Structure 1
Amino acid sequence: MNDQPRSLASTLFSVGLLLIAMASIQSGASLAKSMFPVVGAQGTTALRLVFASVIMLLILRPWRATLTAKSLRTVIIYGMALGGMNLLFYMSLRTVPLGIAVALEFTGPLAVAIYASRRAIDFVWIALAAIGLMLLIPTGAASASIDLAGAGYALGAGVCWALYILFGQKAGADNGVQTAALGMMIAALFVAPIGIVHAGAALLTPSLIPIAIGVALLSSALPYTLEMVALTRMPARTFGTLMSIEPAIGALSGLLFLQEYLSLSQWLAILCIILASVGATMTMGNAVKPAVVAD
């Protein structure tokens, strides 16, 4: 008699953790944008990844991982994909509203989910995603409504996200959660030189350090922990379906924290991509699991 209430409470608790995690990620992205005038998107990415890698190094102790030549190669690709995903996403935020950048980036995991399934129903999700993209990236006289270079960066981040999922699964099969810390360290080593070349001594600005630590906590350490807890308490498909609303949370965060107002067509585009992601997640096979630690 008591199993059902406990199950419902556990589900609601997991959903709450996941919502907090998504809100944390998008709040971290909003906070990161405040650093752009000082160190640029490149320097901001470098600071975030460096501090996030230190935090995850202390929490997950990746030196306990066992690496072979093959698994090391997989972890390196995974880490570079993670670094590229973060860098390109922040580059897009310079000129593209947060909600739109998240929606465009979501095409990466959406493509992975559709490829893993390849059923007839997937053409519906492809069509919805295409409609969303056409609404977000109009052509002709209306093309000035969104920066095409920024949109390109966001789509590039989506490609990196797809690689992150595919190689993250392979790397995670060998060393579990310690893979995340290893990947974050590699991502920091990959992006740090780019940030140093771009921002130079500005990276050492004392007032930026607390903000960078806050971004690392909000965008990496906290959501990663909460998502891992939620994923252990709910089916992967339910997890992926709930994660699909992240573009909407990004749009709301942009509105609340950055005063980024979207047009009706842009909200419709985000809705199309969310529906495509939800549909693809619900109809996908078991080959590909939803990914955590995205933006």
Structure 2
Amino acid sequence: MPAPDAVTTGRPGATRPVRSGPAVLMVLGSCVSLQVGAALAAQLFDTSGPAGTTLLRLGVAALVLLALARPRLRSWSRPQWRAVALFGGSLAGMNGSFYASIDRIPLGTAVTIEFLGPLVLAATQSRRLRDLGWVLLAGIGVALFGLGDGTGPGLDRLGVLFALSAAVFWALYILASSRVGALVPGQGGLAVAMAVGALVLAPLGAHGAAQALPDPHLLLLVGGTALLASVVPYTLEFAALRRLPERVFGVLLSLEPAVATLAGWLLLGQGTTALGLVAVAVVVSASVGSTLTARPTPQAVAAAP
């Protein structure tokens, strides 16, 4: 993902012909699946904690994707392994930080703050004043949350720090996944990167993950989280990226904070205020504006948590 196109810094892809059709529904379905998966993951936190839940999600998703992709690991070169290892590390940091944040702050708020990562990356790579303006607008939207998150007088500061950390790792993830996309064919790089991410999180999450294993109900939640938050979104977006223009894909992806806010309300009972809705709208507007005014790039990029 060299030169990300604002929030088209979302998922791996290649040059696409301009065909839409069901592709729009694929992207929207991906956004919904991702946030429903996050809502399911939140139900595991009491038992497994954020680190254990992230380990379970990445581990199960890695097994599924490895079975589907069947990468030829023996033929990989040292640069390919290095790129995949960095990709896996950024994947672990992004997902681990994100789950730690939604353990403390509302889902929609965390996703909205996390969107600063790809926006800032796009602005730094562009060096255009207009792109900096979009980042500042998004910053204003995030700052509005400091005046009240819709559930109390203020946000949990550690939760905000985790969301900002997830934003940083998302930017790193975009760069790392771009490198893997250029070096490793197919989905093998993503599958192995998820396995690497699970290994990175094992020291922190192994104890928590083990607590969920004896409970069939929790195992169902783990399977649902892995499928809805990893396997389904990536599969849908890989297919959509081959059919949609990059900017259309990016605009659709920019709706994720709004979808996350809705999912938090419907699935987790997380309310919000008018100010919170304004904050989400401002960040979504900044993301859409950044996407529409970005310069075309030869590649699309890689995924949110």
Q: Which residue of 2 aligns with 1:235?
A: 245
Q: 1:210 aligns with which of 220, 229, 232?
A: 220
Rounded to whole Å, the distance in 1 between the matches of 2:147 and 2:163 is 15
- Secondary structure of the residue aligned to 2:129 is coil
CA contact (8 A) 2:119 2:290 kept: yes
Q: Which residue of 2 aligns with 1:146?
A: 155
CA contact (8 A) 1:102 1:247 kept: yes
Q: Which amino acid aligns with 1:282?
A: L
Q: Which has the higher contact order (CA 8 A, sep 6+)?
A: 2
* CA displacement, residues 272-291 of structure 1 (integer Å, 9 cap, x when unaligned): 11111111122223458553
Rounded to whole Å, the distance in 2 between the matches of 1:32 and 1:215 is 6
Rounded to whole Å, the distance in 2 between the matches of 1:288 and 1:78 is 20
CA contact (8 A) 1:113 1:281 kept: no
* CA displacement, residues 247-280 of structure 1 (integer Å, 9 cap, x when unaligned): 0000000011011111111111111111111111
Q: Which amino acid aligns with 1:264?
A: A
Q: 1:68 aligns with which of 55, 77, 85?
A: 77
Structure 1 range deviating more: 177-186 or 153-162: 177-186
- Secondary structure of the residue aligned to 1:262 is coil
CA contact (8 A) 2:56 2:209 kept: no
Rounded to whole Å, the distance in 2 between the matches of 1:137 and 1:66 is 50
Rounded to whole Å, the distance in 2 between the matches of 1:213 and 1:220 is 10
C-alpha displacement of 1:67: 2.5
Q: Which amino acid aligns with 2:109?
A: I
The alignment's C-alpha RMSD in Å is 2.1
CA contact (8 A) 1:112 1:288 kept: no
Rounded to whole Å, the distance in 2 between the matches of 1:200 and 1:257 is 23
Q: Which residue of 2 aligns with 1:14?
A: 23
Q: Please show how residues 141-290 of structure 1 align to structure 2 within 5 Å.
A: 144-176=153-185, 177-197=187-207, 199=208, 201-207=210-216, 208-287=218-297, 289-290=299-300
CA contact (8 A) 1:239 1:290 kept: no
CA contact (8 A) 2:177 2:302 kept: no
* CA displacement, residues 36-58 of structure 1 (integer Å, 9 cap, x when unaligned): 11111111111111100001111
C-alpha displacement of 1:293: 3.2
Q: Which residue of 2 aligns with 1:3?
A: none
Shift >6 Å, 4+ stretches: none
Q: Which residue of 2 aligns with 1:134?
A: 143
Q: Which residue of 2 aligns with 1:4?
A: none
Closer, same or farther in 2 for the Cα pair 1:137/1:261, shift >3 Å?
A: same
Rounded to whole Å, the distance in 2 between the matches of 1:163 and 1:131 is 23
- Greater helix percent: which structure? 1
Q: Which amino acid aligns with 2:127?
A: R
Rounded to whole Å, the distance in 2 between the matches of 1:74 and 1:253 is 34
CA contact (8 A) 1:116 1:288 kept: no
Q: Please show how residues 102-113 of structure 1 align to structure 2 within 5 Å.
A: 102-113=111-122
CA contact (8 A) 1:196 1:203 kept: no
- Secondary structure of the residue aligned to 2:303 is coil
CA contact (8 A) 1:14 1:233 kept: yes
Q: Mind listing any 5+ residue stretches in structure 1 that lack a counterpart? A: 1-6
Closer, same or farther in 2 for the Cα pair 1:290/1:273, shift >3 Å?
A: farther
- Secondary structure of the residue aligned to 1:95 is coil
Closer, same or farther in 2 for the Cα pair 1:162/1:200, shift >3 Å?
A: closer
Q: Which amino acid aligns with 2:93?
A: G
Structure 1 range deviating more: 128-137 or 246-255: 128-137
Closer, same or farther in 2 for the Cα pair 1:290/1:251, shift >3 Å?
A: farther
C-alpha displacement of 1:64: 5.1
CA contact (8 A) 1:116 1:285 kept: no
Rounded to whole Å, the distance in 1 between the matches of 2:193 and 2:158 is 27
Closer, same or farther in 2 for the Cα pair 1:27/1:92, shift >3 Å?
A: same
